[in-house]
Amino acid sequence: MAVVAVALVTVAFVQARGDDAATSDIAQQEVEYGPEGQPVAFPHNVHAGAGEGQYQIDCMYCHFSAERSPSAGLPAVASCMGCHSVIRGEGPEGGPSPEIDKVRGFWDRQEPIPWNRIYRVADHVQFPHMRHISAGVDCTACHGQVQEMGVIQRVEQPLTMGWCLTCHLEMGASRDCTVCHY
């Protein structure tokens, strides 16, 4: 009986808010992308790409907590310095890369890199990355072909409840409301 009451209240709430609420869209916020939007221009294609001169670094190396936490985690300076304590890169004038110098500056000051978040789901939705990773969902299913992006961009996935449920149906995942709404 309590489940029916909760369902009725939820339906009434969604209808009262209008059709847009039924899609459970992500919280819309303006996020700048690219070198001017991030504190360090990070070429995902160079780091994660599989082409010549690209390093094929797995997503989990930088987004280390995705396998064990609801959050994918943002790269720590120590992750960058694992390579860039030795690799200085080459800047446009032939000297060291100014972007790698920025990373080294954060390291020297013992400050985290203040990355700007690219994705954010609505407050009433939980997206536990670890469950999706353990279920074998590839990062590109939601984030697109990041390994091909010179500048990170939010792909045009609708990130609506319907879009998520379609994936849950295809993957045989639970459709119980409490899986994502708690």
Residue 65, pLDDT score: 94
Is 171 part of any domain?
A: yes
pLDDT number for residue 36: 58
**Domain contains 158:** yes
Range of the domain at 60: 30-75+115-179
Residue 93 belongs to a domain: no
Q: Is residue 86 part of a domain?
A: no
Residue 100 lies in a domain: no
Number of domains in the chain: 1
- Is the residue at 8 inside a domain? no
Return the biggest CA–CA distance within the chain. 71
Write down the pLDDT at residue 146. Answer: 95
In a domain, 21, yes or no: no
User: How far is the C-alpha of 150 from the C-alpha of 38, rounded, in Å?
Assistant: 13
Instruction: Record the pTM.
Output: 0.74
**pLDDT tens across 6-22, in order?**
443 443 433 344 334 33
Burial 153-163 (b: 16+ CB within 10 A, else e): eeeeeebbbee
Nearest 10 degrees: CA dihedral of 173, 18, 122, 151?
100
Q: Tell me if 63 is assigned to some domain.
A: yes
Which ranges of the chain have pLDDT less than 50? Answer: 2-35
Residues 125/179, Cβ–Cβ less than 8 Å: no
